[in-house]
Amino acid sequence: MAKLPTLAFVSDAVYPYNKGGKETRLFEITTRLSKRGYDVHIYCMKWWDGTDDRVENGVTLHGICPLMPLYDGPRRSIKQGVLFGLACFRLITAKFDVVDVDHMPFFPLYSMRVVCWLKGKKMIATWHEVWGQKYWQEYLGGVKGHIAWWIERVSVLFPDQINAVSQMTADRLRKQLKYSGKLSVISNGIDLKGIQSAKKSSQTSDVIFAGRLLKHKNVDVLLQAIDIVRNTQPDVKLIIAGEGPEKENLLSLSKKLKLEKNVEFLPFQEDIKDLYGLIKASKVFVLPSEREGFGLVVLEANACGVPVITVNCPDNAAKELVTNTSGTVVALNSAEVAKAILEYFEAPHHAASNNYNSYSWDLTLNRLIKGMSLQKPSDLVN
C-alpha cells in the first residue's frame, strides 16, 4: 500500500489554546485527517509548556516560535505577525508533501512561498475573509492602512491554490484582490453528534453571545439593546461568553448602563459541550458582528435549536446562513436588535431550519482531500 502524504498546516493560533472559528476548523480537519491515516503536522506558536514538539489527538504540533500576544490593544499585533512569519522559514528543514497556510496574518504566506519554492512543494492557502482597501484604511488609517492593503493584495500571488471558507470570501478574492488562480469554496462544518449529545445547562438565559470580544463584533450594541429590552422586560438575562481586548470596555459599559443584574460575563468554555449547553438553555443567540468570514456559530446555535439574530452588514457572511425559520437579520443598531429580541420574547420558537445538515466536518474534509488531490476511495466517507 502506498504511503499517504505528509501534510503540514501553518497557523499561529491553535485549538484549544485559542478558541475561534479558524482554530476550530483547523482542529476538526487535522484530527480527522489523522484518523484516516495521514501524517499531520501543525506549525504554530508555542502555546504550551515543555518541549517544542508534542502530539495531541494524533496530530504533531510544532512550536516554531515563542508565544506572543495576538493583539496589541484592540488591533492585531503587527510585531507578532512579522515574527511568526519569519519563524516559518524553519520549515525549510521540515518534511512534508503539501502545506496549507492560514492567510492571517499574511506574513507566513511570504516566507512559506520561499520555503515551498526551495523544496519544490505545493502550497495551499486557507482564506477566511478579505479585508480590502477600505477596511484597512478604517482599521489602521493613512500610510499604515495603505501598506497593509498591499500586503494583503500581494499575498494572493503566492499560493498554488486557495480554499475560501465561504462564497462571499471567494467572490471578494476574485473581485477585490484580483486573484485569478485555482480557487475552491470549502466551508466550515459543525459537529452535529457532539451538539446533540451536549446536555442543556442549568444556567439559563434569555439572550446569549459567544465569541471573541473584538470591536467589530459590536457586543456594545447588544448591551445597548438589552438596556432597551429591559424597559419592558426588566428581568431579561444576557450571557456573554468569551474573551478579548474589548472585555474591559464592555464591562465598563455594562456598569454605566447599570446592567450588572441583567448581564453575566463568562470566559471561553474549556469544553465546547459546555458552550452548547449554555446555548441550548437560552432563547435566542445574537451575533451583531459586522465582519464574519463564515459565521460557524450560526449553524451551531441552530443545531442547538436556538434561533439567531445577526446583522445586515456587507462584510457579514453569517447572514447568508440565516433562513426564515432559523433566525432574523436586522440593521446594525441597538433599537433594531432590541426589537428582534422582544419578538422572540413574545413568540419564542425552536429553530426549525435544518440548514446545518448541509454542513459537516466530514463533508468539508472530503472536499479538502479532493482539492488537495490526495484522495483514494477509502479516504472519502459519506
Q: Is 191 helix (H, G, I), strand (E, B) or coil?
A: coil
Instruction: Report CA-CA distances (Å) from 13 to 16, 68, 75, 222, 363.
Output: 9, 10, 16, 28, 24
Domains of the chain, each with CATH number or no CATH: 6-189+360-379 (3.40.50.2000), 192-357 (3.40.50.2000)
CB 163, CB 124: distance < 8 Å: yes
CB 341, CB 207: distance < 8 Å: yes
pLDDT in the model for residue 27: 96
Q: In whole angstroms, give the CA distance from residue 56 to residue 223.
A: 38
Give exposure, 250-272, as e/b (b: 16+ Cβ within 10 Å). bbebbeebebeebbbebebbeeb
Amino acid at 182: K
Q: In whole angstroms, give the CA distance from residue 10 to residue 112.
A: 9
Question: What are the cell numbers at 283?
Answer: 432563547
**What count of other Cβ atoms lies within 10 Å of the Cβ of residue 308?**
27
Residue with cell 439574530: 309
Give exposure, 339-348, as e/b (b: 16+ Cβ within 10 Å). bbbbbbeeee
Q: Is the peptide bond before 16 cis (omega within 30 degrees of 0)?
A: yes
pLDDT in the model for residue 355: 67
Successive 10-residue mean pLDDT values, the chain, 382 residues: 84 93 94 94 97 97 96 89 97 96 96 97 95 88 91 96 94 95 93 92 96 94 98 96 94 97 94 94 96 91 94 94 91 97 84 70 89 59 46
CA angle 194, 268, 293 (to 5 degrees): 75
How large is the C-alpha radius of gyration of the chain?
21
Instruction: Report CA-CA distances (Å) from 46 to 43, 84, 265, 269.
Output: 9, 11, 28, 21
Q: In whole angstroms, give the CA distance from residue 130 to residue 149.
A: 10
